[in-house]
Structure 1
Amino acid sequence: MSTAGRRASRSRATKETAVTVELDVDGTGRADVSTGIPFFDHMLAQLGRHGGWDLRIEATGDLTVDTHHTVEDVGITLGEALREALGDKAGVRRFASVAVPLDEALIEVALDLSGRPFLVYEVDPSPGGEAFLLGEPGFDPQLAEEFWRALTVAAALTLHLKSRSGRNTHHILEASFKAVARALRDAGRVEGAGVPSTKGVL
């Protein structure tokens, strides 16, 4: 199977947000992201860079109310784009796992391009018990779980994230995004011809 054309564009508009995503999963790691939430932009850029994608995300939302709506809707839209870009998944590796460190933080990720949405999230973004926002407007570290849940459901994949160590919230979250990016890059790599499932479909 040729990987040419594994790209997608998706848009989502609600009374709370407007999101546009352009994705090429066989890109060069270029990311152009603007959500109005600088820390979240930084995290999304990790997906593009370490996933080997070309990724453009533009989002506007009711940030004066909360950042939750924007984060979740970006997850939904990106997940839909990823599912569309991967197509029937013929020839993909399907499974991948990786452990990614960032200084004291270590995150383990395992995923399956299964067609069955399921998220296991065992990451404490504030291991010291201190809750705080990152950047301005503030990104609540707990929203990372909401992002992954939205993406997992929309992309129809099984995703496990587990923290093995970490004290710095920025390091923990960034290692998480980098780890998922690397696992998606590996799982989506084309190495055969048929759909890797006894059912014949993913």
Structure 2
Amino acid sequence: MARYCEEKRKTAETEVLVNINLDGSGETNINTGIGFFDHMLTQIGKHGFFDLNVEATGDLEVDFHHTVEDVGIVLGKAFAKALGDKKGIKRYATVFTPMDESLSMVSVDISGRPYLHFDVAYIAHTTGNFEVQLVEEFFRAFAFNSGMTLHIKNMYGKNDHHIIESIFKAFGRVLDEATGIDKRIKGVMSTKGAL
């Protein structure tokens, strides 16, 4: 069965369309109007082996917050729907990923219980014209709309671009591992019989 979903959201501030195929090859088409954010979303698809299309328009003349958060909301919902009943998935994964001098850890439990622990210290307020605090907003929106427990920690780093990119690459890799099917799993990976 194909693990694919298309999800939309339209508000007075943004309009977002997401297509995701969890069993893809890492092909992406990302256009949010925010170059740095597009680059980071591409990392999720590429390193998670997800085919991912994101089209977003937003009130960028105000700031990037609404667009970044709403993409997280829509992508989180699409991810959850694409997973379906979660039968056979590994559910848990933890990945460490370097980007030059930076090293980040991302750990996930696709549990149905949304939670975000975000432990990242940045060097500056922005990287280019992108406010670094928006990274946490994206991951909070994703975690709470996908029903995922998500822990993100940057171990160390000196360049904000590298720190953020190591997180997004780790996130793609951890999702690939946690959504992987293990034929030994009968039903779902839970003693409760449901996720």
Alpha-carbon contact 1:35-1:59 (below 8 Å) kept: yes
Give the 5 Å matches for 1:10-21.
Answer: 10-21=7-18
Alignment equivalent of 2:96, drawn from 93, 96, 99 = 99
SS of equivalent residue, structure 1 residue 92: coil
SS of equivalent residue, structure 1 residue 175: helix
Alpha-carbon contact 2:127-2:161 (below 8 Å) kept: no
Q: CA deviation at 1:133?
A: 4.1
Give the 5 Å matches for 1:33-182.
Answer: 33-126=30-123, 130-134=124-128, 138-182=129-173
Q: Give the unaligned 5+ runs of structure 2.
A: none
Sequence identity (%): 50
Deviations 1:139-189 (A, max 9, x none): 111100000000000000000001111010000000000001101000000
Partner Cα separation in structure 2 for residue 64 and residue 45 of structure 1: 23
The yes-or-no answer on 1:24 pairing with 2:21 is yes
Counterpart residue number, 1:201: 194
Partner Cα separation in structure 1 for residue 25 and residue 126 of structure 2: 34
Letter in 2 for 1:131: H
Alpha-carbon contact 1:31-1:55 (below 8 Å) kept: yes
Letter in 2 for 1:33: I
Deviations 1:58-89 (A, max 9, x none): 00000000100000000000000000000110
Partner Cα separation in structure 2 for residue 119 and residue 91 of structure 1: 24
How large is the Cα RMSD of the aligned pairs? 0.8
Provide TM-score, normalisation by structure 2: 0.97
